[in-house]
């Protein structure tokens, strides 16, 4: 679960990192307040939210077990632990 959350946080930060790289490449003052106007930050946040939504949709669509599978919980057979699996 934590991996999924950290992945989505990373995806959210991508537009800001790309813009920071752009500022660094153009030597425009990465930490200058004038390089981060509200309109640019709002557009970056909108792009980040769109990326997160696309990531969540992709995660829901392409991960997990097939729709017709049945979960068999972990159990003990012959004294050995058999992990849970989708069958």
Q: What is the reported pTM?
A: 0.72
Confidence at residue 1, expressed as pLDDT on a 0 to 100 scale: 77
Confidence at residue 45, expressed as pLDDT on a 0 to 100 scale: 98
Alpha carbon 69 to chain centroid, angstroms: 26
- Which residue carries 């057979």 as its tokens? 77
Confidence at residue 12, expressed as pLDDT on a 0 to 100 scale: 97
Tens digits of pLDDT across the chain (87 residues):
798 899 999 999 999 999 999 999 999 888 999 999 999 999 999 999 999 999 999 988 888 778 888 999 999 999 999 999 888
**Contact (Cβ atoms closer than 8 angstroms) between residue 28 and residue 20:** no
Q: How far apart are CA 28 and CA 34, in angstroms?
A: 9
End-to-end CA distance of the chain: 22
Confidence at residue 66, expressed as pLDDT on a 0 to 100 scale: 81
């Amino acid at each position: 679960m934590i991996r999924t959350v950290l992945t989505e946080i990373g995806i959210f930060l991508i537009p800001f990192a790309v813009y920071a790289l752009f500022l660094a490449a153009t030597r425009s003052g990465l930490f200058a307040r004038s390089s981060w106007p509200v309109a640019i930050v709002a557009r970056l946040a909108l792009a980040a939210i769109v990326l997160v939504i696309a990531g969540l949709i992709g995660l829901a669509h392409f991960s997990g077990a097939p729709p017709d599978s049945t979960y068999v919980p972990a159990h003990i057979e012959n004294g050995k632990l058999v992990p849970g699996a989708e069958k």
